């Protein structure tokens, strides 16, 4: 058995910190994805067609 060098100990600490940050980011992205799928956020994609749901009320009255 040998002792780790002080450099390896510091590097291990930074690696665990980076792991925590990456896991938090993954959890946030997964959570946002789940919420958007449940609420139907992906139902209306951008298809280069004007949708009535996106037209403000003032311009909708003028065109009707």
DSSP secondary structure string for all residues of the chain? --PPPHHHHHHHHHHHHHHHHHHHHHHHHHHHHHHHHHHTTTSS---SS--GGGS-HHHHHHH-
User: Residue 46's pLDDT band (boundaries 50, 70, 90)?
Assistant: low
Domain count, the chain: 1
Is 39 part of any domain? yes
Is 29 part of any domain? yes
Q: Which domain holds residue 47?
A: 6-63
Is 36 part of any domain? yes
Is 58 part of any domain? yes
This prediction's pTM:
0.56
Is 1 part of any domain? no
Average pLDDT over residues 35-53: 70
């Amino acid at each position: 058995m040998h002792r780790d060098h002080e450099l390896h100990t510091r590097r291990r600490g930074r690696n665990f910190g980076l792991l925590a940050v990456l896991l938090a980011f993954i959890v946030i992205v997964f959570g946002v994805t789940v919420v958007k799928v449940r609420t139907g956020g992906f139902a209306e994609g951008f298809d280069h067609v004007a949708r009535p749901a996106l037209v403000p009320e003032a311009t909708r009255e003028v065109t009707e």
